[in-house]
Amino acid sequence: MRLTVDHVTRYHYNQAARSVVQSHRLSPSIFAGQKVIDWEVTVSGGTRGAAFRDGAGDEVQGWTVAGPVSELAVRVQGTVETVDLTGILRGHKETVAPNCYMRATTPTRADAALEALARRAAAPDQLTLAHALSELVADAIAYRPGVTHAHTTAAEGLALGEGVCQDHAHALIAVARVRGMPGRYVSGYLFADADGLLHEAAHAWAEVHISGLGWVGFDPANRCCPDDRYIRLGSGFDAQDAAPIRGIARGGGREEMDVTVAVQQASQ
């Protein structure tokens, strides 16, 4: 499938910032499931800085914006050709050992309820177990936008019983680790949800490392593995670690942000 992305993130400061520095993970991952046709990231008034590929295989690009900055726009435009690999991350080069992702962070730390949920799954092998855990998370946390926030933890999402893709991903990572499988958070885009409806926001899911198979993606929010509707950007221990845009503003008072994302299917 050939997908086009137009993603704009706008920042507004009630007092002009002296300068803004950002770190981006906004370039599509390099693996067998997707090929970049064209891709461009621009920052209004920004100067492109150093770039590198980290140990997880993600491209990280730095940007600086000299002040005064009252408004800032980060725009991503591009086209990616995707292939359905049933969620398997084939051909992705990285140097970080999978067991590194057994380390829990605050958003993904398992409490007693998450541990109990993880123990409910019975399966003859790790792949079947990972599928079972994803289904348990989907059943336990109903998809409902607006009830959680950026800092909601997996334990809080489970206790609430509602949340969004971020909460599903954090919970799946937590229960996978309880069962001895490394898990990590993945950020990206989704063309359509399980019902074929257009998805109007950036998306997130989890990857679980399966012995003998490697990293496999699971999306509890849509009860599936990532296929050719998905564009993978990058990964991390949790949502903050894998955030497509991270940054800091010097001064600037209160910061407000709004995001628009359009993912469409392009003609071949």
The predicted-structure confidence for 25-64, as pLDDT tens digits, reads as follows 999 999 999 999 999 999 999 999 999 999 999 999 999 9
Q: Do residues 33 and 44 share a domain?
A: yes
The residues, any chain, with a CB within 8 Å of residue 83's CB and separated by 6 or more, are 32, 33, 34, 228
Per-residue model confidence as pLDDT tens digits over 91-112: 999 999 999 999 999 999 999 9
Q: With cut-offs at 50, 70 and 90, classify the pLDDT of residue 201.
A: low
Look at residue 143 and tell me whether its pLDDT is greater than 60. Answer: yes
For residues 72 and 180, state if they share a domain.
Answer: no
Residues 218, 124: Cα–Cα separation, whole Å: 18
- DSSP-derived pairing of the beta strands 2-24 and 255-265: antiparallel
Residues 90, 212 within the same domain: yes
Q: For residues 220 and 138, give the distance between their C-alpha atoms in angstroms, rounded to a whole number.
A: 5
Is 203 in the same domain as 249?
A: no
Do 119 and 227 fall into the same domain? yes
99 shares its domain with 198: yes
Q: Which domain CATH number covers 142?
A: 3.10.620.30
CA distance 180 to 182: 7
Does residue 131 sit in the same domain as residue 261? Answer: no
pLDDT in tens, 182-196: 999 999 999 975 565
Same domain, 172 and 261: no
Into how many domains does the chain fold? Answer: 2
Domain that holds residue 187: 83-236
Q: Which helix (DSSP H) or strand (DSSP E) does residue 19 occupy?
A: strand 2-24
Measured between alpha carbons, how far is 101 from 242 in angstroms, rounded to an integer?
13
Identify whether residues 166 and 97 lie together within a single domain.
Answer: yes
Q: Dihedral through CA 133, CA 135, CA 138, CA 139, nearest 10?
A: -110
Q: Are residues 18 and 43 in the same domain?
A: yes
Polymer length of the chain:
268
Token look-up 């229960």 returns 175
pLDDT confidence of residue 252: 72
Predicted structure pTM score? 0.95
**Per-residue confidence (pLDDT) for residue 67, from 0 to 100:** 84
Mind listing the pLDDT tens digit for each residue in 237-254? 999 999 999 999 998 788
Q: Find the CATH number of the domain harbouring 257.
A: 2.60.40.2250
- Per-residue pLDDT at 197 exceeds 70: no
Pairing of the two strands 142-143 and 162-163: parallel
